[in-house]
Amino acid sequence: MITSDTEVAPVSLRKRFPLRHFRQVPGPELRRLFHRLPEAFGGSRDRDLLAMALGATLYVPATRPDLTATILKRAERGVCSMVIDLEDAVPDHDVEFGKRQAAATLDELAGSGEAHPLLFVRVRDPQSIDEIAGRLGAGASALTGFVLPKFDSGCASDYLHALELASERLGRTVFGMPVLESPALVHRETRDRELRRIGEQLARHRDRVLAVRIGATDMCSTFGIRRDRDLTIYDVRVVADVIADIVNYLGRADGTGFTITGPVWEYFADHARMFRPLLRTAPFAEVDAVPFRQSLVSRDMDGLLREITLDRANGIQGKTVIHPTHVAVVHALSIVTHEEYADAADILSTGAGGVAASEYRNKMNEMRPHRSWAHQIMLRARVFGVANQGVSFVDLLKALVES
């Protein structure tokens, strides 16, 4: 149950509180939905906690004229991690302007006193990391780290060394999020060697690597294909195979792995459908939300919901997004269900092995094989909270969309 010391502040006071998921949802609605509220994480330097808290990471061009206002607006609407993009979103002739604006925006946000998301800058090359860090004044406190595109064994050392120098310059850990998308990873004949070399480099800088991101758009480009909006990335077999190998090499739960985030979902507008929607009607009918289901289907959200579910099934947490409407979908499916929480608590309650029926009496919990899973559930519960018994993803998604 939610006790009095977990009461949620009124909207007018929220910006005074540390960064936390679902700050935009009114207190009474939170108490109806949540068995355990999300914890604040904005001031944390716990790498595992921050990696889990990334959730939907929204990209925004560094050259956007209203960049500071946009970031603050997105924070008000529940975005908790953003990337100021200097790479694909910025034309070559605007890169220098983008660098200046990225640094100025971070300085403005640091001085605003208002809550803002975890902020990263996606650079084009390792040299830009030192350049951006050197331009920061107060904005050093607003910067969480850098996104490292086209990350491969050839540039890994330069990128990671640049992170080390930026951390020394700013007096604290500056995190990096490498994006795996290069042809050497995609090509079958070089993939194993490339992943092994990347893994060795990342292991030497483990404390600075917040998460590994997957660049599926560039992977598709290797074959001259583009995923259709009626398909998930897991239906594109040549890319799905790469994702599986990335998780195999870099996502292991034995202490050697990293948090791996899901690739971007590119679509958000209405269109004529070729295939039937992927969302069943029954869960929406149970809470009188059939029109809400139709609005999700019309904006391709059923495909996004399915892809997020498959991300999670394949050991992937969080997701890159390019449209604000995607954020609520990612976060609604990140909340731990009451059943998951009950199972995880049972598994972690004993250090011995064995098997026991779950509290919900619908499965068997194996105490040793499921222990790594249970630890992940408890970490996710800390930053995304635990839903009340009987609360479905439909309830959660409606609350986020309508708040």
Q: Check pLDDT > 60 for residue 273.
A: no
Q: Check pLDDT > 60 for residue 271.
A: no
Query: pTM for the whole thing?
Result: 0.89
Q: What are phi and psi of 81, to 5 degrees?
A: -150, 135
* The 3-state secondary structure of 307-374, one letter per residue: HHHHHHHCCCCCEEECCCHHHHHHHHCCCECHHHHHHHHHHHCCCCCCEEECCCCCCEEECCCCHHHH
CB 335 within 8 A of CB 396: yes
| CA 153/CA 143 separation, integer angstroms | 26
Least confident range from 13-27, 329-343, 384-398: namely 13-27
The runs of H, that is alpha helices, within 59-155 are 67-76, 95-112, 126-135
Sequential DSSP letters for 219-262: HHHTTT----TTS-GGGSHHHHHHHHHHHHHH--TTTT---EEE
Q: Tell me the average pLDDT across 141-163.
A: 97
As a whole-number percent, the residues of the chain with pLDDT over 90 amount to 75
Amino acid letter, residue 253 = A
| CATH of the domain spanning 47-333, picked from 3.40.366.10, 3.20.20.60, 3.40.640.10, 3.10.450.50 | 3.20.20.60
Q: Check pLDDT > 50 for residue 2.
A: no
The residue among 278 and 49 whose pLDDT is bigger is 49
Domain with CATH 3.20.20.60 in the chain: 47-333
Q: Tell me the average pLDDT across 19-48.
A: 94
pLDDT band at 171 (very low <50, low <70, confident <90, very high): very high
Q: Tell me the average pLDDT across 123-142.
A: 97
The residue among 100 and 6 whose pLDDT is bigger is 100
pLDDT band at 209 (very low <50, low <70, confident <90, very high): very high
pLDDT band at 402 (very low <50, low <70, confident <90, very high): confident
267-272: long-range contacts (C-beta < 8 A, 24 or more apart)? 267/229, 267/300, 267/303, 267/304, 268/299, 268/300, 268/323, 268/325, 268/326, 269/299, 269/300, 270/298, 270/299, 271/229, 271/300
Q: Tell me the average pLDDT across 266-289.
A: 59
Q: Tell me the average pLDDT across 68-89.
A: 96
Structure confidence at residue 278 (pLDDT): 57
Structure confidence at residue 8 (pLDDT): 34
Cβ-Cβ contacts under 8 Å for 202 (sequence gap 6 or more): 156, 160, 178, 209, 212, 250, 258
pLDDT band at 14 (very low <50, low <70, confident <90, very high): very low
Amino acid letter, residue 71 = I
Mean pLDDT, the chain, as a whole number? 89
The tokens describing 241, both together, are 């195979």
Structure confidence at residue 6 (pLDDT): 34
Structure confidence at residue 361 (pLDDT): 85
Structure confidence at residue 392 (pLDDT): 86
pLDDT band at 45 (very low <50, low <70, confident <90, very high): confident
Q: Check pLDDT > 90 for residue 37.
A: yes
pLDDT band at 12 (very low <50, low <70, confident <90, very high): very low
Q: Check pLDDT > 80 for residue 274.
A: no
The tokens describing 121, both together, are 């800058």
Task: Give pLDDT tens digits for 328-380.
Answer: 999 999 999 999 999 999 999 988 889 988 888 899 999 999 999 999 999 99
Structure confidence at residue 113 (pLDDT): 86
The tokens describing 115, both together, are 């809550």
Instruction: Say how many C-beta atoms besides its own lie within 10 A of residue 22's C-beta.
Output: 24
pLDDT band at 287 (very low <50, low <70, confident <90, very high): low
Structure confidence at residue 15 (pLDDT): 45
Least confident range from 89-98, 171-180, 194-203, 291-300: namely 291-300
Least confident range from 36-40, 48-52, 99-103, 275-279: namely 275-279
pLDDT band at 280 (very low <50, low <70, confident <90, very high): low
| CA 190/CA 186 separation, integer angstroms | 8
| CA 381/CA 143 separation, integer angstroms | 25
pLDDT band at 72 (very low <50, low <70, confident <90, very high): very high
